[in-house]
């Protein structure tokens, strides 16, 4: 990202940063510096180097950093970039044919982009929401402290309601609120703006490193297939567009590719806006991964006739007992994969640290996220008669009993998911 107010130095020494990553032997000081550089530059070249197991503890060299992207004709684009007082979001509604951008100058404009579906994926939403709030503080810094805080509060309320099922968004806003509360009410608005910008930088950096560590553990957990590609079913958005330069479930696949392990991905498609066929396939192609698109409704056929080695799901909201909100349809896929009516296929849940809420006891307490109106009605089928009521859940819940393991930045957690899951999500260590 281009330098902006308060961005000349990213405070990688803050306590929260090292609470999550400082004790992980998987990520060296050089890789931490590489992640910070990727956040500043708004590119994924450095981010891709976090998957390369041959980086050897130093900042990735240019050829190592682009080892994933070099497998295709072009590198990934970042889902967002910051240029001065403007946050540019890559409008995902046009991918892969168009690369339009939306310019946002405050949190309310970011919230509008989220509601329109221009930016998706809980992890990315948390990051762009954080930068939106920081830009609001910067935009109004010439006003009275009370007025600035009023603008920030209004933006936070708008962002919080934009995607109720994305815990990373809520967690990012909670961190920014705590950062604001740490300063006196009459603090200089310029100081407040710089503090919020530094916290937003930390949120983005931490997410990148968290996802890269998660990918390493998830790849190590997956079985090794002799003489054939590993067959993986990938459901829901889990690539860089949804993760903020480093994905979650797809990051596991990228790590496998970086290790030289052949992979074939089965990509489900059933969402109204076609993210699987449009975006996931585009990301897999750029990662050099052979893939096949399969309708959600045909997953049962796949499990019966060509069962994959594992199913990869990514958590939008992870509860204390291991239940998780995942992209709609994931709960049914996990239940079917775990069913004895077909050959049981293990489900690996990829859970970023920001998705975990220890105060949510089970999936029953995770908020619903029901889409209606233009997004749900006009895209399900162009022949839907006018006036037909359409409802599209954004997420559903995968039950812990259907999950074989949870991949976290601290390691892979296996059932029963109790205190061990909370420990892994709140105090990661090398596993």
Q: Report the domain count for the chain.
A: 2
DSSP H or E stretch at residue 407: strand 405-408
| pTM higher than 0.85 | no
d(CA 160, CA 109): 13
Q: Is the peptide bond before 96 cis (omega within 30 degrees of 0)?
A: yes
164 with 237, same domain? no
For residues 247, 251, 253 and 258, what is the CA-based torsion angle, rounded to 10 degrees? Answer: 140
271 with 147, same domain? no
321 near 390, Cβ under 8 Å? no
* Residue at 57 is within a domain: yes
Tell me the backbone φ, ψ of residue 23, rounded to 5 degrees. Answer: -95, 5
User: Which structural domain, as residue segments, surrounds residue 144?
Assistant: 15-210
Digits of tens for pLDDT over the chain (431 positions)? 333 323 333 333 333 333 333 333 233 444 555 555 565 555 555 566 666 555 443 333 333 323 333 333 344 468 998 888 899 999 988 888 888 889 999 999 999 999 988 898 999 999 999 999 999 999 999 999 999 999 999 999 999 999 999 999 999 999 999 999 999 999 999 999 999 999 999 999 899 989 999 999 999 999 998 889 999 999 988 999 999 888 999 999 999 998 999 999 999 987 667 777 888 999 999 889 999 999 988 999 999 999 999 999 999 999 999 999 999 999 999 999 998 776 789 999 999 999 999 999 999 999 988 876 555 444 555 667 777 777 788 899 999 999 999 999 999 999 999 889 999 998 644 33
For residues 170, 175, 178 and 183, what is the CA-based torsion angle, rounded to 10 degrees? Answer: -130
322 with 188, same domain? no
251 with 396, same domain? yes
270 with 286, same domain? yes
Q: Is the peptide bond before 416 cis (omega within 30 degrees of 0)?
A: yes
25 with 65, same domain? yes
Which residue among 161, 193, 210 closes a domain? 210
DSSP H or E stretch at residue 419: helix 419-426
């Amino acid at each position: 990202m281009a330098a902006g107010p308060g961005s000349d130095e990213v405070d990688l020494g803050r306590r929260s940063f090292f609470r999550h990553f400082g004790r992980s032997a998987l990520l060296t000081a050089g890789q931490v510096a590489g992640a910070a550089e990727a956040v500043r530059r708004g590119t994924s070249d450095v981010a891709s180097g976090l998957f390369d197991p041959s980086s050897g503890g130093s900042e990735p060299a240019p050829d190592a950093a682009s080892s994933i992207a070099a497998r295709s004709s072009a590198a990934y684009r970042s889902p967002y970039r910051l240029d001065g007082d403007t946050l540019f979001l890559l409008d995902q509604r046009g991918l892969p044919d168009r690369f339009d951008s939306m310019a946002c100058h405050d949190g309310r404009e970011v919230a509008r982009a989220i509601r329109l579906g221009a930016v998706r994926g809980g992890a990315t939403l948390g990051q762009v929401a954080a930068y939106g709030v920081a830009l609001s503080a910067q935009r109004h810094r010439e006003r009275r402290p009370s007025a600035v805080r009023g603008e920030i509060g209004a933006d936070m309320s708008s962002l919080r309601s934009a995607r109720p099922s994305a815990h990373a968004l809520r967690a990012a806003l909670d961190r920014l609120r705590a950062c604001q509360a740490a300063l006196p009410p009459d603090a200089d608005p310029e100081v407040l703006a710089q503090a919020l910008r530094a916290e937003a930088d930390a949120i983005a950096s931490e997410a990148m490193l968290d996802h890269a560590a998660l990918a390493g553990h998830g790849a190590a957990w997956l079985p090794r297939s002799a003489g054939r590609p590993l067959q993986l079913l990938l459901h829901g958005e889990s690539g860089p567009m949804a993760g903020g330069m480093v994905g979650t479930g797809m990051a596991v696949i990228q790590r496998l590719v970086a290790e030289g392990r052949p992979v074939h991905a089965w990509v489900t498609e059933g969402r109204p806006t076609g993210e699987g066929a449009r975006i996931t396939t585009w990301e897999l192609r750029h990662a050099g991964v052979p893939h096949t698109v399969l309708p959600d409704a045909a997953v049962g056929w796949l499990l019966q006739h060509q069962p994959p080695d594992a199913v990869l799901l990514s958590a939008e909201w992870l509860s204390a007992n291991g239940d998780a909100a995942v992209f709609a349809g994931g709960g049914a896929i996990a239940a079917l994969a775990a069913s004895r009516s077909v050959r049981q296929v293990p489900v690996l849940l990829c859970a970023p640290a920001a998705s975990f809420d220890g105060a949510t006891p089970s999936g029953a307490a995770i908020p619903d996220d029901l889409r209606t109106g233009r997004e749900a009605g006009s895209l399900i089928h162009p022949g839907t008669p006018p006036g037909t009521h359409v409802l599209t859940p954004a997420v559903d819940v995968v039950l812990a009993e259907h999950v074989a393991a949870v991949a976290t930045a601290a390691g892979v957690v296996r059932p029963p998911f109790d205190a061990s899951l909370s420990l892994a999500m709140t105090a990661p260590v090398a596993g």
